Copies of this chain bind each other. A is one copy, B any other.
Amino acid sequence: MRRDVFQAIADPTRRAILTLIALQAMTPNAIAEHFDSSRQAISKHIKILTECQLLRQEQTGREIYYHFNPRKIKEVDTWVEQFRTMWESRFDQLDELLKKQNLKNKES
């Protein structure tokens, strides 16, 4: 049972659930109302998100409120981090770098 964050956010429905829960903790029934799938299908998604700790439960009576855990989504950000400098260096910045190197070549 591979249950890592990347596999969890691969599904668009699960990403939508996260966006929903991030705004406000909700019960499975309340979450399911936002989707066309059955309550059980949504419950399965919630289970997967909970198993990889993207959500945590808070039981009150017979209702279970699911809360979003920001720290876990940070793992994705950490992985993406290694590429950030690459898209931040735009073409014009690259051009500037090349110009400088040409200058340097001229000088030497």
Chain A, interface size: which category?
Answer: 20 to 34
Do B10 and A82 have beta carbons less than 8 Å apart? no
Instruction: Pick 22 A–B contacts, CB within 8 A, sort by A.
Output: A6-B9, A6-B10, A6-B15, A7-B10, A9-B10, A10-B10, A15-B79, A18-B83, A22-B83, A22-B86, A68-B83, A70-B83, A70-B86, A70-B87, A71-B87, A73-B80, A73-B83, A74-B87, A76-B76, A76-B80, A77-B77, A77-B80
| A84 touches B (CB below 8 Å) | yes
| A19 touches B (CB below 8 Å) | yes
Consensus secondary structure, chain A interface: helix
The docked-state distance in angstroms from the alpha carbon of A44 to that of B68 is: 35
Residues of B within 8 A of A4 (CB): 12
The docked-state distance in angstroms from the alpha carbon of A79 to that of B22 is: 13
Partner of A82, one of B12, B19, B71: B19
